[in-house]
Amino acid sequence: MLENLTDRLSRVVKTMRGQARLTEANTAEMLREIRLALLEADVALPVVKSLLEQIKFKALGEEVVGSLSPGQALVGVVQRELAQVMCGDTSQSGELNLAT
């Protein structure tokens, strides 16, 4: 699953070069690729929908900092949200939450 997601994200990051901010237009393709990769990995549809909503909410309008491209900034948002879904509140135990 992660290899497929990595490949898809890498392709989309390349297309987002030269843009200074994350917008709905430039995140739509990446969200589509994430959705397809997760569904192909048999992640439950409600989990995918919830994850994509959180990614979109946190990514839109985010300023791209320093030498990061918008694609790299979006990958950071995706990474944080995937960790949140898989681990829940990592400050408590630091273990994966496989019950959700």
pLDDT in tens, 67-100: 777 778 888 888 888 888 888 755 555 554 555 5
Domain enclosing residue 63, as ranges: 2-87
Domain count, the chain: 1
pTM: 0.71
Q: Is residue 93 part of a domain?
A: no
Q: Is residue 66 part of a domain?
A: yes
Q: Is residue 98 part of a domain?
A: no
Q: Is residue 99 part of a domain?
A: no
**How many angstroms separate the Cα of 97 from the Cα of each of 19, 66, 86, 87?**
36, 33, 6, 5
How large a percentage of the chain has pLDDT more than 90? 11
